[in-house]
Chain A
Amino acid sequence: GPKVLQIPSHQIIDMGQMVTLNCDPVSNHLYFYWYKQILGQQMEFLVNFYNGKVMEKSKLFKDQFSVERPDGSYFTLKIQPTALEDSAVYFCASSLEQGAETLYFGSGTRLTVL
């Protein structure tokens, strides 16, 4: 079936550094999402993105976070600067149409901030 790829699967960085998480969505999908899962807790919605713009973001999407998808390349989540509480697994998802019915998730990137 369709696959969303997330690269890398693990990333370790020092607090205060910048990190970019990459997501290769399903090729013809138009809507993109990031979710965050802190260890032992549930996945939580961060942001959704369509046509080059953020459509909605949660209160977890701090000012230090940004997303973009330049010209059909990777959909990225950038955190600058990182903080200890950013340590989590970040899941990317994409969908062809609006609606959770067609969401496909990646397997996540585990980010560790030291």
Chain B
Amino acid sequence: QQKVQQSPESLIVPEGGMASLNCTSSDRNVDYFWWYRQHSGKSPKMLMSIFSNGEKEEGRFTVHLNKASLHTSLHIRDSQPSDSALYLCAASMGYRGSALGRLHFGAGTQLIVIP
């Protein structure tokens, strides 16, 4: 059973628009979250991490986490064509899982930003 579910599977937004991606853990022990971006044929690169309830913003990217529902979301404002990529949500079993580098990945959301 997958521990991390992402939605939607794919998302098309116009350039300049807002992209909102969702991720939920089905395992209450899996509660530290990361967001990765993977351009086609390239390596996944970490965008942001969030471990506590609330919101974290870095430039055009904002992540939210609700630990009660184990739901995290990534929002990209002023989306650019270069943001077109596969966005992967990953989670670990708390600090120890993180320390071991043992991440549970979702299947990803394919984002397409149309000029």
A101 within 8 A of B: yes
- CB pair B100–A56 under 8 Å, yes or no, is yes
Contact-residue bracket for chain A: 20 to 34
* In contact, B43 and A48 (Cβ under 8 angstroms): no
Total A-B residue pairs with C-beta atoms closer than 8 Å? 68
- Does more than half of chain B's interface fall in helix, strand or loop, or is it mixed? mixed
B interface residues, tally (CB under 8 Å): 27
Given A4-B43, A107-B41, A99–B102 Cβ distance below 8 Å?
no
Q: Mark A24-60, 1 if CB is under 8 A from B, else 0.
A: 0000000101010000111111001000000110100
B101 & A95 in contact (Cβ 8 Å cutoff): yes
Say yes or no: A105-B101 contact (C-beta < 8 A), given A41-B107, A42-B107.
Answer: no
Looking at B2, B42, B99, the one whose CB has the most chain A CB atoms below 10 A away is B99
Residues of chain A having any CB pair with chain B under 8 Å: 3-4, 31, 33, 35, 40-45, 48, 55-56, 58, 91, 93, 95, 98-101, 103-108
- B interface residue numbers (CB < 8 A to A): 2, 4, 32, 34, 36, 41-46, 49, 88, 90, 92, 97-108
